[in-house]
Amino acid sequence: MNNRNGLHIQIVIFALITSVLTALANLLVENIVGINVFSFGLWLIIPVGAVLIGMGGASGGFLACRYFNIMPSKLDAIALTLVAAFTMFLIYYMGYSTLVLDDGVLAKDVVDFGTYLDVVVTKAHMKVGRALNHDTGEVGSFGYWLLVIRFVGVLIGGFAIFASLKELPVCSDCDVYFKKIGVKENLQPNSDTAQTILDKIRSGTVEDYASAIESTGKGDCDVKIEFTLMRCPKCRSEMVTEEFFVKNKDKNFVAVKELNGKTLMPKDSIIPSLFAKK
């Protein structure tokens, strides 16, 4: 099953299912609420909606990998990106095949898809301003640039799904994804106390590690460390990932990826008991 070079058909099938569902959801939201999520952009050109739609379209591939324990290959990455692009096509095609003109005639009975697309792309109006109250008028040929930008957006979204799969921790002995068992948050007043925790994490003894998890501060803290206990569903070996967050000047925690790490736990250690719900 885990051919690391070939194409995994399960990924393609699952991704195609979520692709159709994503396009349908986009159509439904547009018809009910009047907002086309796909065409939503920031500062006119950042295709936020297209990236989200690309991610939604390819998300089935993520589920398939987790479910079947597939480590995606480069071919899978291409497949996921293509399915994301297909989602964009579906959105336009569903819009075309369901559009009813003012006189009650179905648009698809009077124009072909190419003509429809040209009209949709060039005659679209862009809404700008904070309350979307300023209309720029028809976008004209700039619409094709928007189309290209959105196309790049969905590709990025599809690839992001692949990239997030590559981030998932894998048991190197069994070639399966670790399962998340529990999360424990540790707050530290300042960078000095956080350094003490980091030293304990890296000391290599289970006692120090346990104390790193347990010795959390209280009140207004500048550093947060998130411990996540993972277990291999096959050989049951255990691992804890450490993620660091520091408060910025707006008092929001931001990730400090350089400090992140993971530590394999010896068999039957006391560590899992620290994650038990109290």
Total chain residues near Zn ion (CB under 5 A): 6
The values of phi and psi at residue 226, to 5°, are: -105, 115
Specify the residue, 88 or 232, whose C-beta has the smaller distance to Zn ion: 232
Q: How far is the CB of 42 from Zn ion (least distance, A)?
A: 42
Least Cα distance to 4 among 139, 165, 158, 142 occurs for: 165
Smallest gap, in angstroms, from Cβ of residue 164 to Zn ion? 21
What's the full length of the chain, in residues? 278
CA distances from 213 to 19, 242, 266 (A): 41, 10, 16
> Given candidates 173, 185, 199, 214, which one binds Zn ion under the rule CB under 5 A?
173
Options 51, 171, 213, 230; binder of Zn ion; rule CB under 5 A: 171
Q: Rounded CA gap, 122 and 119, in Å?
A: 5
Residues 222 and 252: their CA atoms lie apart, in Å, by: 9
- Min dist. Cβ of residue 40 to Zn ion (A): 42
* DSSP element (H, E) containing 135: strand 134-138
Q: Closer CB to Zn ion, residue 132 or residue 235?
A: 235
- Residue 235 makes contact with Zn ion by CB under 5 A: yes
In this structure, how many other beta carbons lie within 10 angstroms of the beta carbon of residue 106? 12
Per CB under 5 A, the list member of 27, 165, 198, 232 interacting with Zn ion is 232
Residue that the structure tokens 């925690």 belong to: 253
Under the criterion CB under 5 A, does residue 174 sit at the interface with Zn ion? yes
Asked if 66 is part of the footprint of Zn ion (rule: CB under 5 A), the reply reads no
- In the bound state with Zn ion, the residue whose beta carbon lies nearer, of 165 and 230, is 230
199 binds Zn ion (CB under 5 A): no
Residue 274 as a binder of Zn ion (CB under 5 A): the answer is no
Please report whether residue 234 would count as binding Zn ion according to CB under 5 A.
yes
Burial class (CB within 10 angstroms; exposed 0-12, middle 13-18, buried 19+) of 273: exposed
Query: Judged by CB, which is closer to Zn ion: 118, or 173?
Result: 173
Task: Tell the burial category of 226 from Cβ atoms under 10 Å away from its Cβ (0-12, 13-18, 19+).
Answer: middle
Q: Tell whether residue 233 is a contact of Zn ion (CB under 5 A).
A: no
> In terms of CB distance, is 169 or 182 closer to Zn ion?
169
Between residues 13 and 235, which has the closer beta carbon with respect to Zn ion? 235
**137, 125 in Cβ contact below 8 A?**
yes
Sign of the alpha-carbon torsion through 252, 247, 169, 258: positive
Binding mask 116-155 for Zn ion (x = CB under 5 A): ----------------------------------------
Residue numbers of the site for Zn ion (CB under 5 A)? 171, 173-174, 232, 234-235
